[in-house]
Amino acid sequence: MANILTYIELDENEATPGSLRALNHGRDVATALGATLYAVLPCAATPSYDEEDIIAVLSRHGADKVILISHPQLVAPAFYATHGEALVAACRQFPPRLMLFAASAESQDLAPRLAMSVRGHYAPDARLELENGKFFVSRRVFRRRYRVREPLFPLDHPLVLTLRCCAEPQVVGDDEAEVVVVQAPIDAPPAVRLRRSVDVDPKANGSIAVGGGAGLKHDAFKLLERLASSLGGAPVASTSARNKGLTRAELPVGLDGAAVEAGLYLALGISGSERHLAALAPHTEVVAVNTDPEAPIFRAAQHGMVADADDIIRQLLQHLGGGGR
């Protein structure tokens, strides 16, 4: 029988909505193929067992079995350097035909490296489509200008997908999933160091980071800093904006810069490279403004506006009584 694995991403010890929706997709495929659907749950501590614990939640969203990998070092945020051995151990014990991730900052690091480790094929930002009883993988390439569509299982090697999950997760059953424990060879603390975080309180839902990209004019960054101050937030910038000399060197957000742990991220004139998006916390809500409707930032944003970010900054400042000049 084929195995389908879905990675469960955690946010404050709860499964993210994207992970639960990916589990829903896995349930659809597993039912069609007669496969077993596993939810892969790496966590720092063994979860409790009651009606609302994470095992019960994963069961209700479609999991046949939950692969539990518990180790004190498996704390958020998840990188391949910290969680890779756990995922590889799960794949070795339960070899997958298909491995699903929700598209997120974590999956951008985990999924492609896992695919290499299990000698699988990787397709990012994909959608699963059912037609005439057969599943297809659909994804856009070349800045999303073209759509590639191909059968889901023509390959001999495992297929690793990150899914764009826009709909709300659905409860699909009430059977209790079986829990299987996998021991991962996690021996030494990983050599991972987060350089710094933006100076906002990650626990405060109202915390705001205001980011500017290369799409802004030079003088707009001074207005952006005033806007951040008016909103009680922190100003940040993209690496490309820093490289163009538009802003101070200490502001950039990205894998080689700062991490955003704010409750709200206002992204102004930022295209949204993978390195930039990887620095956003899973719980951060993104509001994006960009003149390019195909900008990758819109795929990560909960709210978006196709507009001139310079104009939006001035309008917001005027609305807040801070002026727009």
Task: Determine the Cα–Cα distance for residues 113 and 110; give it in Å rounded to an integer.
Answer: 6
How confident is the model over 116-139, as a mean pLDDT? 80
Helix%, strand%, coil% for the chain, nearest 5: 25, 30, 45
219-256: per-residue pLDDT in tens?
A: 888 899 899 988 888 888 888 888 888 877 667 887 66
List Cβ neighbours of 57 (8 Å cut-off, separation of 6 or more).
14, 15, 20
How many Å apart are CA 168 and CA 185, to the nearest integer?
Answer: 35
Q: Where are the beta strands (DSSP E) in the chain?
A: 3-7, 10-11, 14-15, 36-43, 65-70, 98-102, 121-131, 134-141, 146-151, 159-163, 178-181, 196-197, 208-212, 234-238, 252-253, 258-259, 264-268, 285-290, 303-306
Q: Three-class SS of residue 24?
A: helix
pLDDT exceeds 90 at position 100: yes
pLDDT at residue 6, as a whole number: 97
More reliable by pLDDT, 157 or 160: 160
Instruction: State the pLDDT at residue 202.
Output: 36
Q: For all residues of the chain together, what is the average pLDDT?
A: 82
**257 near 279, Cβ under 8 Å?**
yes
> Cβ contacts of residue 174 below 8 Å, gap of 6+?
59, 60
Strands 178-181 and 65-70: parallel
Instruction: Quote the pLDDT of residue 301.
Output: 86
Residue 64, pLDDT score: 95
Q: Name the least confident of 136-140, 156-160, 238-242, 288-292.
A: 136-140
Give the chain's domains with CATH numbers: 3-181 (3.40.50.620), 196-320 (3.40.50.1220)
Q: Which of these, 268, 266, 28, lies nearest to 167 by C-alpha position?
A: 28
**Phi/psi at 28 (nearest 5 deg)?**
-60, -45
Q: How far apart are CA 312 and CA 282, in angstroms?
A: 26
Instruction: Give the model confidence (pLDDT) of 41-54 as tens digits.
Output: 999 888 876 657 89
195 or 63: which leads in pLDDT: 63
- DSSP 8-state code for residue 197: E
Amino acid 188: pLDDT: 60
Q: Structure pTM?
A: 0.61
Tens digits of per-residue pLDDT, 73-97?
888 788 888 899 999 999 999 999 9
For residue 247, what pLDDT is reported? 78
Question: Helix 105-117 and helix 80-93: axis angle, to 10°?
Answer: 50
Confidence tier at 185 by pLDDT (50, 70, 90): confident
In the prediction, which pLDDT does 197 show? 47
Q: Is 53 left (phi over 0), alpha (psi -120 to 50) or beta?
A: beta
- Provide the pLDDT for residue 151: 60
pLDDT(324) > 60: no
Neighbours of 94 (CB within 10 A): 17
Picking from 118, 63, 74, 122, the residue whose alpha carbon sits closest to that of residue 96 is: 118
What would the two tokens of residue 64 be?
């046949």
Model confidence pLDDT, tens digit, residues 295-323: 888 888 888 899 999 999 999 998 887 55
Least confident interval from 59-73, 137-151, 163-177, 240-254: 137-151
pLDDT band for position 205 (cuts 50, 70, 90): very low
Find the mean pLDDT for residues 126-149. 65
DSSP 282: T
